Amino acid sequence: MAFLVSSLFLILVFMMGTIIGSPDAPFPQGDEIMHIRSVRESLQIGSVLIPSLSGLPNPYKPPLLFWMGMASDQIFGMSYVSERLVSICFGTGSLLLLYRLVMEMGRSRSEAVLTSLLFGFSFLSLKFFGLLMMEGPMVFFLLIYFYCFYLYQKTKKLSYLFSGSFLSGIGYLLKGPILHVYLILFLFSYFYVKLIRFRKGKLSFQWKHIFQEKWIVYSFALTAIIPLFWILFLYFYVPSGKDLLRFFFITENMGKFYSANQPGLRIWLGWVLYTVPFTIPLLQLVWNSITQKIQTKHQTYVQTVLVFFLLVTSLHLLPNRKDPYYVTPFISFIFLLPAMKGISWQSVLMTKANQISLLLVYFLLVILSMFVRLPYLFGISLLFTVLVASSFCFFQKRDHQWKGILFSQLSLLPIVIFFLLRPMSDPDLRIQTKEIQQESICVVAENPWTAMDAQNKLQNAKIQFSLPLTIDENCRNTQYLINYTKGKVPNEFTPIKSWFHWTQHLDLDFPTVVTSLLKMDSKKFQTEITLWKREETK
């Protein structure tokens, strides 16, 4: 078992090292383009204290992530690896916190290692701990507060409570006051569990707990120290500080309540998506925690976490913008439920529902590999299909069954990354334009983030953005043009190269999709990108 765990941790380290070095991450998030652009531009123009974007102070997010990205670039050199190393460090810290929490809860070292390992192989970790995004650090800051909160409850040492409150307050510099809202909801959930009692059909309130744990309430004021200093600094010492604060609190945050409404199902989808490949057993675990009335040593924490899940989900159902990744800071608490309930990961993962669903997923990968003609994916998916089927049909010893299921479950996302997504990824823009990376290039696209992405990948090029209707005006001084649209290019440009990208936001009906798959016609799902050169004038 020790050899298996060591091997899996080495695989995890190798995967993250591979992921952070690629400009086109296997699980991209559009906001990262803006974050990397802000880091590099701020260094180039010397706007370190107040990060900039497109020549202006960046009003969208506080500066902590950008500061750390700039520091990493200064130390290790400007690259995707340097910038994403920030999230890797926070991810490593989160795994260590999970390990320490499980150990503090009295579980064995193997259970603590498994908790960290499984969380490390979750979709959340493999995506956000490999991108320059706020979500990975947010996981860390929530965990550091809960870790210190738990140690305070265990030892009654106020130093844990004070340090946890102060450190978590630094998280304001990531995404603003939303982290404080999460902490308030966590404390509300805790006191709700401690205060309210239903006995013999009567509702009663145990108000004494408020007074007994008053330091929890008092110490929360420490979370406001860093935010207060930053807000006052912007307000009094930065010329554009008042405008930055106004935009951030009103336009950026309050604007989420006025933008186009999105279906609330997206938030619930986040709980399902970012717990992959452990979604089925974890959902079973949550359901059993709700329906079963088994008292355990940490039952208060189990109930607190369940109430907390309900509150934060309800919170994110309120704004009109409901992106699934909004729930990512709380996924780590689901992985703590087995330790809180005193059950082993073996019992969590060895349910029939989990084994059957895992077998079905690998079987679907086999079918998919035949459609998209990926022989390596076909071979390894077929191998794991046989392994999973054998684990609960032929293996007699439960320990062998458990190792087969564990290894198959942890291998699912690595297989998808290296044998499905990598072979089908878009062509590398750096390779397609390797002869013109020192030139001036006009990027024609519907979204300015496409030009930011091109500038991030082609560091030495001078990138100019243009909408399809403004090419004549915006591209008149550039030597080359990359057209990401179907718009007409001026006659003075000559096409010299083209390639295809997978199209986002496809609007295809089901019969068209099926027909395209059967005919192996991938162009139905792709957009042609063209490279043009300005003709020499005589």
pLDDT of 200 reads: 57
Residue 260 lies in a domain: no
Cβ-Cβ contacts under 8 Å for 499 (sequence gap 6 or more): 427, 432, 528, 529
Higher pLDDT, 391 or 76: 76
Across 318-327, 448-457, 466-475, 508-517, least confident range: 508-517
Residue 188 lies in a domain: yes
Report the chain's mean pLDDT, rounded to a whole number. 88
Q: What is the full DSSP assignment across 290-356?
A: HH-----TTHHHHHHHHHHHHHHHHHHHSSS---GGGGGGGHHHHHHHHHHHT--HHHHHT-HHHHH
- pLDDT digit string, tens, across residues 361-371: 999 999 999 98
pLDDT tier, 394 (very low <50, low <70, confident <90, very high otherwise): low
Instruction: Write the CA distances from 227 to 63, 133, 168, integer angstroms.
Output: 12, 20, 11
- C-alpha angle 390-398-275 in degrees, rounded to nearest 5: 75
Cβ-Cβ contacts under 8 Å for 455 (sequence gap 6 or more): 37, 461, 463
Q: Among 424, 458, 481, where does a domain finish?
A: 424
Residue 284 lies in a domain: no
* pLDDT at residue 132 tops 90: yes
Q: What is the full DSSP assignment across 143-197?
A: HHHHHHHHHHHHH--HHHHHHHHHHHHTTHHHHSTHHHHHHHHHHHHHHHHHHEE
Whether the CB-CB separation of 315 and 189 falls below 8 Å is answered with no
Domain shared by 8 and 59, yes or no: yes
State how far the Cα of 448 lies from the Cα of 372, in Å rounded to an integer. 32
Residue 519 lies in a domain: yes
Residue 284 phi/psi, 5-degree rounding, is -60, -40
pLDDT of 310 reads: 95
Counting residues of the chain whose pLDDT is more than 70, the rounded percentage is 90
* pLDDT at residue 214 tops 50: yes
Domain shared by 495 and 416, yes or no: no
Domain shared by 414 and 443, yes or no: no
Higher pLDDT, 12 or 118: 118
Domain shared by 86 and 131, yes or no: yes
For the chain, the C-alpha Rg in angstroms (whole number) is 26
Number of domains in the chain: 3
Domain shared by 251 and 385, yes or no: no
* pLDDT at residue 375 tops 90: yes
Report the predicted TM-score, pTM, of the whole model to 2 decimal places. 0.91
pLDDT of 188 reads: 93
pLDDT of 516 reads: 56
CA atoms within 13 A on the CB side of 336: 30
Higher pLDDT, 262 or 176: 176
Domain shared by 183 and 84, yes or no: yes
Residue 70 lies in a domain: yes
Domain shared by 415 and 395, yes or no: yes
Residue 91 lies in a domain: yes
CA atoms within 13 A on the CB side of 505: 0
Cβ-Cβ contacts under 8 Å for 347 (sequence gap 6 or more): none
Across 75-89, 310-324, 392-406, least confident range: 392-406
pLDDT of 538 reads: 44
- pLDDT digit string, tens, across residues 157-194: 999 999 999 999 999 999 999 999 999 999 999 998 88
Pick the most confident of 32-46, 251-265, 490-504.
Answer: 32-46
Q: Which of 59, 30, 53 is nearest to 447 (CA)?
A: 30
Domain shared by 11 and 25, yes or no: yes
What's the whole-number mean pLDDT along residues 27-52?
A: 93
- The two tokens of residue 324 are 């699934």
Cβ-Cβ contacts under 8 Å for 138 (sequence gap 6 or more): 171, 174, 175, 179, 328, 329
Q: CA torsion sign, 148 to 151 to 153 to 156?
A: negative
pLDDT tier, 515 (very low <50, low <70, confident <90, very high otherwise): low
Cβ-Cβ contacts under 8 Å for 87 (sequence gap 6 or more): 128, 129, 130, 131, 132, 133, 136, 137
Domain shared by 52 and 196, yes or no: yes
- pLDDT digit string, tens, across residues 455-509: 999 999 999 999 998 998 999 889 999 999 988 899 899 999 999 988 766 555 5
Residue written as token pair 């990376």 = 437
Domain shared by 157 and 62, yes or no: yes
Residue 319 lies in a domain: no
Higher pLDDT, 475 or 526: 475
Domain shared by 404 and 485, yes or no: no
Whether the CB-CB separation of 385 and 397 falls below 8 Å is answered with no
pLDDT of 10 reads: 75
pLDDT of 527 reads: 87
Domain that holds residue 138: 1-255+298-309
Residue 84 lies in a domain: yes
Asked if omega into 414 is within 30° of 0 (cis), the reply is no
- The two tokens of residue 216 are 């929890």
pLDDT of 19 reads: 83
pLDDT tier, 33 (very low <50, low <70, confident <90, very high otherwise): very high
Q: Which of 25, 36, 13, 3 is nearest to 456 (CA)?
A: 36
Domain shared by 229 and 365, yes or no: no
Q: Among 360, 394, 424, where does a domain finish?
A: 424
